Structure 1
Amino acid sequence: MNIAEGSSLLIVEDDEALARTLRRSFERRGYRVETASSPKEVESLLEAGRSFAYAVVDLKLGAASGLSCVEMLHARDAATRIVVLTGFASIATAVEAIKLGAAHYLAKPSNTDDIEEAFGKGEGDAAVPVEGRKTSIKTLEWEYIHQTLVESDFNISEAARRLGMHRRTLARKLEKRQIK
Structure 2
Amino acid sequence: MDGDGPDENDLDAIGPDPSLLLVDDDGPFLRRLARAMETRGFSVHTAETVAEGIAIATREPPQYAVVDLRLSDGSGLDVIETIRRRREDTRIIMLTGYGNIATAVNAVKLGAIDYLAKPADADEIVSALLQRAGDRAELPENPMSADRVRWEHIQRVYELCERNVSETARRLNMHRRTLQRILAKRAPR
TM-score range, shorter chain: 0.7 to 0.9
Structure number with larger C-alpha Rg: 2
| Matching residue of 1:30 | 41
Contact 1:87-1:178 within 8 A present in 2 as well: no
The question of whether the paired residues in 2 share the 8 Å contact of 1:93 and 1:147 is answered with no
Long gaps (5+) in structure 2: 1-8, 140-144, 170-175
The Cα offsets for residues 13-55 of structure 1, whole Å up to 9 and x where unpaired, read as: 01001100000101112211111122211222234x2110100
Note the 1:1-180 alignment, pairs <5 A. Answer: 1-2=9-10, 3-4=13-14, 7-47=18-58, 49-62=59-72, 64-124=74-134, 139-146=149-156, 148-149=158-159, 152=162, 159-160=164-165, 163=168, 165=176, 169=180, 173-177=183-187
Deviation at residue 140 of structure 1 after TM alignment: 4.0
Taking the aligned partners of 2:137 and 2:124, their CA distance within structure 1 comes to 19
Could you say what secondary structure the match of 2:185 adopts? helix
Report the CA distance between 1:103 and its aligned residue.
1.1
Query: In the comparison of the two structures, how many residue pairs are matched?
Result: 167
TM-score w.r.t. structure 2 length? 0.72
Q: Please report how far the alpha carbon of residue 159 of structure 1 lies from its aligned counterpart in structure 2 after TM superposition.
A: 4.4
Call closer, same or farther: CA 1:53–1:128 in 2, change over 3 Å: closer
Do 1:54 and 1:82's aligned partners in 2 also have CA atoms closer than 8 Å?
Answer: yes
Q: TM-score, normalised by structure 1?
A: 0.75
Aligned Cα RMSD in Å? 3.1
Tell me how far apart the structure 1 counterparts of residues 108 and 166 of structure 2 sit (CA, whole Å).
Answer: 27
Overall identity of the aligned pairs, in %: 33
Q: For residue 17 of structure 1, what is the amino acid of its counterpart?
A: P
Higher relative CO (CA 8 A, sep ≥ 6), structure 1 or 2? 1
Amino acid at match of 1:58: D
The residue identity in structure 2 corresponding to 1:18 is F
- AA partner of residue 28 (structure 1): T
Q: Unaligned stretches of 5+ in structure 1?
A: 130-134, 153-157
SS in structure 2 of the partner of residue 105 of structure 1: strand
Check conservation: 1:8, 1:54, Cα contact below 8 A: yes
